[in-house]
């Protein structure tokens, strides 16, 4: 199979059609962060059932397993779909993406730290670049743009802090 990347506009139009299909079938667009939140709640519950009384995680657990949910199943699909595409294009290769000569350990610490912050951001904003920004903006919500402008604004503002990590990465 052709292994070049899609032109960004073509990819975007296809993504928009997929989003539309999701909306007219399920009534909601694609999400991602919610599945990570649910996986955390269910995982912690396995070791410590008292999390069911937690003011936040409790709402995921009150109807039984936190993982029996539309977004969780859809997220499994995201993984499988990406895997299929990468297999066809022969793009599966272990890698730690960073600037040439940048220590791998620092890169992994920053990846973990960024994930930690993003988790908090998504709980406040009720979603991420998928479930909040793309879905909300497509459904023409004001909140999606507040979130997107704040997120990309902060990204540009703080970019100077991580210049070394990304130098020459394109």
Partner 1 sequence: MDLVFPLFTSGFISNEVNLFLALFIGMLFGFILERAGFATAAHIAPVFYFKNTMVPKVMVSAIVTAATLITLGVLFGYIDYNNIFIPTTYLWAYFVGGLIFGLGMVMSGWCPGTALAGIATLKIDAIFFALGLLAGMYFYFDIYDASEGLRHLANDANLGRYTIAKALGSEDIRVSYIVTLVVSFGLMAFMMIMNKIAKNKGE
Q: Is residue 118 part of the contact set for partner 1 (CB under 8 A)?
A: yes
How far, in Å, CA of 119 to CA of 114, rounded? 9
How far, in Å, CA of 22 to CA of 102, rounded? 40
For residue 157, the minimal CB distance to partner 1 (Å) is 8
Interface positions, 134-153, toward partner 1 (CB under 8 A) = 134-143, 145-153
Q: How many residues bind partner 1 (CB under 8 A)?
A: 124
Cβ proximity to partner 1, 49 vs 113, nearer residue: 113
Q: Which of 49, 65, 103, 159 binds partner 1 (CB under 8 A)?
A: 159
Q: Which of 49, 65, 103, 113 binds partner 1 (CB under 8 A)?
A: 113
Interface positions, 52-81, toward partner 1 (CB under 8 A) = 54-57, 68, 70-71, 73-81
For residue 101, the minimal CB distance to partner 1 (Å) is 15
How far, in Å, CA of 116 to CA of 114, rounded? 5
What the block records as the tokens of 150 is 């704040």
Cβ neighbours around 105 below 10 Å, total: 9
Q: Which of 49, 103, 155, 164 binds partner 1 (CB under 8 A)?
A: 155
Q: Is residue 46 part of the contact set for partner 1 (CB under 8 A)?
A: no
For residue 49, the minimal CB distance to partner 1 (Å) is 14
Q: Is residue 13 part of the contact set for partner 1 (CB under 8 A)?
A: yes
How far, in Å, CA of 85 to CA of 158, rounded? 33
Quickly tell me which residue has 């008292």 as its tokens: 50
Phi, psi angle pair for 56, to nearest 5°: -100, -55
How many Cα atoms within 13 Å fall on the side-chain side of residue 28? 12
């Amino acid at each position: 199979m052709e292994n070049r990347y899609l032109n960004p506009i073509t990819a975007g139009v296809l993504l928009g059609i997929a989003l539309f299909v999701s909306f007219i079938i399920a009534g909601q667009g694609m999400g991602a962060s919610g599945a990570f939140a649910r996986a955390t709640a269910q995982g912690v519950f396995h070791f410590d059932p008292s999390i069911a009384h937690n003011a936040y995680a409790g709402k995921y657990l009150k109807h039984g397993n936190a993982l029996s949910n539309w977004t969780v199943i859809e997220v499994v699909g995201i993984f499988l779909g990406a895997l299929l595409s990468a297999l066809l294009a022969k793009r599966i290769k272990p890698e730690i993406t960073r600037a040439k000569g940048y220590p791998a350990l620092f890169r992994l610490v920053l990846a973990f730290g960024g994930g930690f912050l993003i988790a908090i951001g998504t709980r406040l904003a009720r979603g991420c670049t998928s479930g909040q920004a793309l879905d909300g903006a497509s459904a023409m919500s004001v909140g999606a743009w507040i979130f997107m402008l704040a997120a990309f604004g902060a990204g540009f503002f703080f970019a100077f802090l991580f210049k070394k990590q990304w130098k020459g990465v394109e």
